[in-house]
Structure 1
């Protein structure tokens, strides 16, 4: 197993650094497009904390939008669920639907701050302006038939709008960042976005890197090559891992085979190394099969009974006493 120099540098600070954030990504709706409501988010946030083998350390949640699915500007019910379950939050403002929609994201962010006050703002770890917008705006994104994204200039404008919106509120001083693929960050035409943020959130999936030798045996090297490349262009900004994982079911992509066995290998090699190095981490994902049949599926928890606690494979990291 290869550990990158970047991660080893993080690990060297373990004795003085505070514990890193550990959590999962949570969409606003199920695969059948039905909106998640309060009970759904509460179930997910509580289930994450109860995962055997993790010492109850997955207490954070990354969301992609402030808006309840199917509404114009209603506060997403994940906020109340986080307050009820004491789950810390990496907020997301969707930035690939134009200025009018972003206005609604900002107004909903302000409304949540006003309605919930410190019970909300004290849980906020940071705010991500956008998610993979630069990737969707790229040639690669177009080739993969992704929806339109956002230009670097537009994204910088949205970031400034967010800074202006949180001034004088309980969110003032919270780090503001952007989440994208590592390929977007290493593209020099996007450097203005890196300059505008406080942190970078990188999404890296060896499974999808089909132009490389992306078998599970190379998963660790492939991930850390992407992570190191992102750190190299980060302008000294902290790099958070906002999405990574290996699918438990799905099509074979080049040399990458989706299976619970391979997901376990990836968890041990990559996820556990990030945990040990105290890197802020949001794994993809806790459970993605409550409805529908996604291909690929990255969920740690199986389909069926939503109250099922046990994951599809052992989450105890090598050498851990969990």
Structure 2
């Protein structure tokens, strides 16, 4: 499916986001290069290296979720993200400059600076730097998740950002050349001076580059949003919500898979990435840095790997994602990277350093594809969370994802120091004098990333957020927003007045005050056993979804369950096995309201209408319904629907009334549609209007009255009404088993007392609707998904 112009993000904004990625990657890339100076020139032992890597990153990983909560709940005219991106950029830049002002000898006195002083100084500024990184990166990543709701455009955004960001890894390795080409004819007198000076330039330039997303990516004001106030008290009390957000996010299986896979690939790679300099210098050149051309070959390794990622990997991965899907692109890319790691074992040959260049394009598929795909896939998962919870939480998901990355990065840094100690590597000793240590480093260098990649591929083997599912979820979110806006905004002078006036005067229907749950259940069972007018038939069993082919056996089994309780059955489609529903219903002596599913798919519409006409001519249709909520879904125009109605009426035998089903308010200002229908089948859901259960019947009465007035004497049928037993609330409407029973009892009493024909929604719970309406969409049945009564007592009738 192509990306429409509606969903296309301006290229300038993609570039601005990409410049943020450049800063986000350049700071740690240069940091990794400069870290060599701590061991090679300032004499930090392996344990100090490990501690410096570990604790600031642990701090960073634990501040991320807090920053995610703050960013998600910020009320500001600048939105939720931009101001933090700007502040974080400034803190990062200043701290980066300061942290590298290290001296081996005091420039004022000429005395040696103690190792402990340099260690403590660097550690303190590291904490400040990583605080700035958190303030910048968490809202920055969330900003990227918000830029588009299109499946493929998200990959395009991340591919553009990763392409720009990859230049960090092209540029950063060349600092090795500058740092170690020193002396009278070099760039600087020594590596420490080079590091101090380069840090100044890098920190200031990247600070301004990191500001670009805050300057050029605009955000909507959140001043009117219902967020928690950002007071110190609320932030301090937010830990429970943060922990809850963690638990909720990690309950989502696809998101867990993304986090776990990233953890193993990224952090296995980073554990051994710092060994590149030591392996090239000590294995290929026996520890002679001069022979290694002052860091030229380590620089070439990093730079060519990054160039491969930039010009080969990212374009190929973006193309693969569109052609075979994100999961398969991920599996294939990681498989190619394993080939590269194996090749590095054989192509790191002393005296022939150029051979490793042949492995770099393969090797680069591992990290090069990781974030291009994973950040795009995380956006898809955030949609799934929004559908299920009604909340849009890019900040907390971004924080959790990057927490996994950074926590693992901290472990990787500490583990690097441990490995150096385990293998017994010693700086300054030729490689031939410590062959076991060099072999050990090489085993870890190839073996650990291979192991991490294999684990990640196994974890992702059954990742199930496909393009089709992602598009369904996005469409469902849009429909929910549209539906919510339609019913509440359509009649501000009528139903809104009803809420504010009549509903406050008392309970309508049976007063359940003082009745126990057992008494309510008994009343419910009595109504269920007293022959309802009609039930909406739910044919799909667990594991099926709309579009699957229904079997005669499953329809017959479910029909036999509900047959003792209803006189009519309503179906929604005439194809894919649904045509069996009216046939089996008539065999059982039930009458049928048979629906043809009408949508924007014109070819399917033809098949549906032809099938409806055939069923009617066979005497299996008592009422014909041409379409259901097509106007609500905004799929066809009123005139197109009228055209379908007229076609069906012209072909049906006499005596079969024809109507179109939609939300009651769709008929109020559509006289042509009303005239085209023989009857008006209306859908009435007080729940979706946000009605309290004790006032829901008054909503239903008013909906019916308004439709009857619009019908000008035509029969009005309640084609759908019901109440869910679980899921998310809508304003005052609370889903629960007790409220579902209360509404059922009152609705049935009202319909029978007034001679109103009503089809209750629905017969069985439908798990497949979770992707369209969240959990609440799956819990409208009188029987559960296992075909067991949900509310009725043991006295429920059976066939």
TM-score scaled to structure 1, two decimals?
A: 0.73
How many angstroms does 1:245 deviate by? 0.6
Cα deviation, 1:171-220, whole Å, max 9, x if unaligned, reads: 3220001111012112x2x221101111001101111113xxx1111111
Question: In 1, Cα distance between the equivalents of 2:767 and 2:711?
Answer: 36
The alpha-carbon distance between structure 1 residues 262 and 313, as it changes in their structure 2 partners (threshold 3 A), is farther
Q: Is residue 667 of structure 2 the alignment partner of residue 185 of structure 1?
A: yes
Question: Residues 133 and 180 of structure 1 are in contact (CA less than 8 Å); yes or no, is this contact kept in structure 2?
Answer: yes
**Match of 2:720?**
243
**Match of 2:569?**
61
**Match of 1:224?**
701
SS in 1 for 2:553: helix
How many angstroms does 1:79 deviate by? 3.0
Question: In 2, Cα distance between the equivalents of 1:267 and 1:36?
Answer: 28
Structure 1 unpaired stretches of 5+? 4-19, 51-55, 70-74, 138-148, 317-322
Q: Is residue 626 of structure 2 the alignment partner of residue 129 of structure 1?
A: yes
**Match of 1:160?**
646
Question: Residues 135 and 183 of structure 1 are in contact (CA less than 8 Å); yes or no, is this contact kept in structure 2?
Answer: no
Q: Give me the CA root mean square deviation.
A: 2.5
The alpha-carbon distance between structure 1 residues 314 and 267, as it changes in their structure 2 partners (threshold 3 A), is farther
**Match of 1:320?**
none
The alpha-carbon distance between structure 1 residues 237 and 264, as it changes in their structure 2 partners (threshold 3 A), is same
Deviates more, 1:223-232 or 1:288-297: 288-297
**Match of 2:536?**
25
**Match of 2:679?**
199
TM-score scaled to structure 2, two decimals?
A: 0.31
How many angstroms does 1:90 deviate by? 0.3
**Match of 1:300?**
782
SS in 2 for 1:124: coil
**Match of 1:283?**
760
Question: Which of 1 and 2 has higher RCO (CA within 8 Å, sep 6+)?
Answer: 1
**Within-5 A mapping of 1:170-181:** 171-181=653-663
The alpha-carbon distance between structure 1 residues 275 and 314, as it changes in their structure 2 partners (threshold 3 A), is farther
Deviates more, 1:225-234 or 1:20-29: 20-29
Question: Residues 623 and 657 of structure 2 are in contact (CA less than 8 Å); yes or no, is this contact kept in structure 1?
Answer: yes
Question: In 1, Cα distance between the equivalents of 2:553 and 2:717?
Answer: 29
The alpha-carbon distance between structure 1 residues 164 and 22, as it changes in their structure 2 partners (threshold 3 A), is same
Cα deviation, 1:62-97, whole Å, max 9, x if unaligned, reads: 11111125xxxxx72213322332221101112223
Across the two proteins, how many residue pairs are aligned to each other?
A: 260
Question: Residues 725 and 736 of structure 2 are in contact (CA less than 8 Å); yes or no, is this contact kept in structure 1?
Answer: yes
Q: Is residue 601 of structure 2 the alignment partner of residue 90 of structure 1?
A: no
Question: In 2, Cα distance between the equivalents of 1:132 and 1:62?
Answer: 15
Question: Residues 615 and 621 of structure 2 are in contact (CA less than 8 Å); yes or no, is this contact kept in structure 1?
Answer: no
How many angstroms does 1:162 deviate by? 0.2
Question: In 2, Cα distance between the equivalents of 1:251 and 1:282?
Answer: 24
Question: Residues 574 and 595 of structure 2 are in contact (CA less than 8 Å); yes or no, is this contact kept in structure 1?
Answer: yes
Q: Is residue 688 of structure 2 the alignment partner of residue 215 of structure 1?
A: no
The alpha-carbon distance between structure 1 residues 178 and 315, as it changes in their structure 2 partners (threshold 3 A), is farther
How many angstroms does 1:278 deviate by? 2.1
SS in 1 for 2:594: strand
Cα deviation, 1:211-253, whole Å, max 9, x if unaligned, reads: xxx1111111111111111111112110000000111111111
Question: In 2, Cα distance between the equivalents of 1:257 and 1:85?
Answer: 36
Query: Which has a greater percent of strand?
Result: 1
Query: Which has a greater percent of helix?
Result: 2
Question: Residues 45 and 87 of structure 1 are in contact (CA less than 8 Å); yes or no, is this contact kept in structure 2?
Answer: no
Greater CA radius of gyration, 1 or 2?
Answer: 2
How many angstroms does 1:285 deviate by? 0.6
Question: Residues 42 and 85 of structure 1 are in contact (CA less than 8 Å); yes or no, is this contact kept in structure 2?
Answer: no
Question: Residues 290 and 303 of structure 1 are in contact (CA less than 8 Å); yes or no, is this contact kept in structure 2?
Answer: yes
Question: In 2, Cα distance between the equivalents of 1:163 and 1:76?
Answer: 19
SS in 1 for 2:694: helix
**Match of 1:78?**
581
How many angstroms does 1:32 deviate by? 3.1
Q: Is residue 636 of structure 2 the alignment partner of residue 150 of structure 1?
A: yes
**Match of 2:748?**
271
**Match of 1:11?**
none
Question: In 2, Cα distance between the equivalents of 1:32 and 1:49?
Answer: 22
Question: In 2, Cα distance between the equivalents of 1:103 and 1:183?
Answer: 27
The alpha-carbon distance between structure 1 residues 292 and 177, as it changes in their structure 2 partners (threshold 3 A), is closer
1:112 to 601, 615, 633: 615
Question: In 2, Cα distance between the equivalents of 1:278 and 1:314?
Answer: 27
